[in-house]
Amino acid sequence: MQDSKWSGFYKLSRAERLARLNQQTGLTGQVPDLPIEVAEQMVENVIACYSLPLGLAVNFVINDHEYIIPMAVEEPSVIAAASHGAKILGNIRVSQEEKTLVGQIIIENLPNIPQAMAKLMDQREELLAIARSYSQSMVNRGGGPRDIRFEQKQNVMAQYLCCYLSFDPCDAMGANAINTVLEGLCQPIEEISSGKVLMAILSNYNETSLTRAQVSLPFKRLGKSEAEGEHIAKQIQKASDYAKIDPYRATTHNKGIMNGIDGVVLATGNDLRATSASAHAYAARLGHYQPLSTWEIRERYLYGELEIPLPLATVGGSLASHPTAQWVLDVLGRPSAKELAMIATAVGLAQNFSAVKALVTDGIQKGHMTMQARNLLMQVGAKPEEVSQVVKALVKEPRMNSQIALEVLKRFRGQK
Ligand SMILES: CC(C)(COP(=O)([O-])OP(=O)([O-])OC[C@H]1O[C@@H](n2cnc3c(N)ncnc32)[C@H](O)[C@@H]1OP(=O)([O-])[O-])[C@@H](O)C(=O)NCCC(=O)NCCSC(=O)C[C@@](C)(O)CC(=O)[O-]
Ligand SMILES: NC(=O)C1=CN([C@@H]2O[C@H](COP(=O)(O)OP(=O)(O)OC[C@H]3O[C@@H](n4cnc5c(N)ncnc54)[C@H](O)[C@@H]3O)[C@@H](O)[C@H]2O)C=CC1
């Protein structure tokens, strides 16, 4: 594989990496931390701030635009794999057709559900106007309520009518915004339907708000020769097909995708519970858990696609007051929420590519354990200044575990 303009970035010191980033982005200074006083305003019963490593994934070109992508993650080899994948994949094409949230108002105690539904449908425009009145600032931005529909639901105990509201939250995640609207609609809905509202809340399931990342790779980008590249492409296709028939494998395949996406979600201060719930519910939409990405050979190209609902925000929530998240958004060039979802999806595809390629070629342990070696040394008591020297000896060992790490560390200390 040819060098990229970021080749060897990982060999620089931390200060040199920051200098290179600042030079590239026009930013200045250090990366700000979250002050404890701010943290105290964010959640309850605060006693400290919990830190995670923040690293930079490089080599990303998304829709012809270069990105340096900060990722917050505790697992070794994830950022290396993202950078490695991005280097091989080249330009990743990404699109998002729409970004809407769905909220639901669940109505019970209805003596005649078809009649209640007909009355509510008659008043649909009036209900949409009430919904808009509760989200005027979002409407002014071009977003807000889009549609209302009703569906009958039942279990063995009871029958319900569910009102589904779709809502465009613009650059926010929109949970608070839509919940305010939904609660504002409860009383009018009860009056029209003569029922009782059981609850009103946004849904974290959204099968229509999808982001799609796609790549098409000539075989020669995958191996040292066209023939080796073709072989690797075939193995990757088989791995992708296998994930469709075995939920054990599909779950791990998707974990590999989320390695990348979660790193971006956390770094940008977004709600990880919401993105995880949404992604895995989408993976299970056919009634059995499926891989979120597919890889297949099309006319001597390896074609990869990842499709995922990602309710990301660049304003509102806690990210507005988190200085590190704000700095990360600066590094990304102040994207819109839609652009941020596209960036995260591209990272997910590159991450998945690297993991699957490693699995069907060298195996995961070769690359992963080299990076895990640093953690092993820390676990057995190596000081940070010792780690970079001892790690070279540890990776030369035929096997690696904490016992071996301890022996190598003792040997190093004995030589000094
Ligand atoms: C680990 C690599 C990248 C090595 O891969 P390699 O081919 O030995 O690496 P290389 O030395 O040829 O370097 C290639 C590029 O990787 C990056 N790179 C290389 N080394 C570093 C480093 N130290 N720090 C930062 N970046 C690094 C860097 O961008 C470099 O480009 P260069 O700078 O040379 O032009 C490869 O083996 C790989 O991608 N493995 C996959 C690792 C992975 O997915 N880890 C996640 C944890 S496992 C898991 O949780 C998910 C899984 C696997 O179960 C999912 C699934 O089953 O599908
Ligand atoms: N089930 C779930 O996922 C739930 C999540 N939450 C939480 O809700 C929070 C997110 O709610 P939000 O309503 O997004 O946050 P929010 O309440 O901060 O609202 C967004 C704010 O940003 C303003 N804004 C400025 N510029 C904007 C732009 N360009 N586009 C959109 N809004 C703009 C809006 O006017 C609004 O005041 C997160 O902390 C999330 O964890 C809350 C309840 C349930």
In this structure, what CATH number is given to the domain that contains residue 136?
3.30.70.420
The structural domain count of the chain equals: 3
How confident is the model at residue 277, as a pLDDT?
98
Q: 42 and 132: one domain?
A: no
Q: 141 and 288: one domain?
A: no
Phi-psi label, residue 167: left if phi above 0, alpha if psi -120 to 50, beta otherwise: beta
Selecting among 153, 196, 238, 255, the annotated active-site residue is 255
How confident is the model at residue 314, as a pLDDT?
98
* Nearest atom, ligand 1, residue 58 CA: 29
What's the CATH number where 339 sits?
3.90.770.10
How confident is the model at residue 371, as a pLDDT?
81
Q: 47 and 115: one domain?
A: no
- Is the residue at 3 inside a domain? no
> For residue 302, what are the β-bridge partners?
217, 297
Mean pLDDT of 111-139: 97
The pair of structure tokens assigned to 406 is 């301890």
pLDDT, tens only, 82-96: 999 999 999 999 999
- Is the residue at 323 inside a domain? yes
- CB neighbour list of residue 76: distance below 8 Å, 6 or more residues apart: 368, 371, 372, 374, 375
Residue in 315, 329, 334, 338 to alter for ligand 2 test, most ligand atoms within 8 A of Cβ: 315
Question: Which residue has the least CA distance to atom 46 on ligand 1?
Answer: 78
Confirm or reject: Cβ of 374 under 6 Å from ligand 1. Answer: no
Domain edge (last residue) among 326, 343, 361: 361
User: What is the average pLDDT value for the chain, to the nearest integer?
Assistant: 95
Measured CA to CA in angstroms, residue 289 lies from 59, 243, 349 at distances of 32, 9, 18
Q: 16 and 47: one domain?
A: yes
- pLDDT band, residue 63 (cuts 50/70/90): very high
- pLDDT band, residue 126 (cuts 50/70/90): very high
**Domain enclosing residue 198, as ranges:** 101-203
The owner of tokens 């779709």 is: 166
Question: Which residue has the least CA distance to atom 20 on ligand 2?
Answer: 316
User: Is-contact 213 294, C-beta < 8 A?
Assistant: no
For residue 369, pLDDT over 80 is answered with: no
The owner of tokens 């991005």 is: 86
* Nearest atom, ligand 2, residue 176 CA: 13
- Is the residue at 4 inside a domain? no
How confident is the model at residue 114, as a pLDDT?
95
| C-alpha 128 to ligand 2 mean position (Å) | 20
> For residue 67, what are the β-bridge partners?
60
For residue 265, pLDDT over 90 is answered with: yes
- Is the residue at 76 inside a domain? yes
| C-alpha 175 to ligand 2 mean position (Å) | 5
The answer to whether residue 87 is catalytic is: no
User: Is-contact 379 401, C-beta < 8 A?
Assistant: no
Domain edge (last residue) among 346, 361, 376: 361
- CB neighbour list of residue 361: distance below 8 Å, 6 or more residues apart: 232, 235
- Is the residue at 1 inside a domain? no
Q: 218 and 354: one domain?
A: yes
- pLDDT band, residue 221 (cuts 50/70/90): very high
Confirm or reject: Cβ of 256 under 6 Å from ligand 1. Answer: yes
Question: Which residue has the least CA distance to atom 7 on ligand 2?
Answer: 175
Q: 346 and 284: one domain?
A: yes
| C-alpha 77 to ligand 1 mean position (Å) | 6
Q: 217 and 75: one domain?
A: yes
CA-closest candidate to residue 212, choices 98, 301, 64: 98
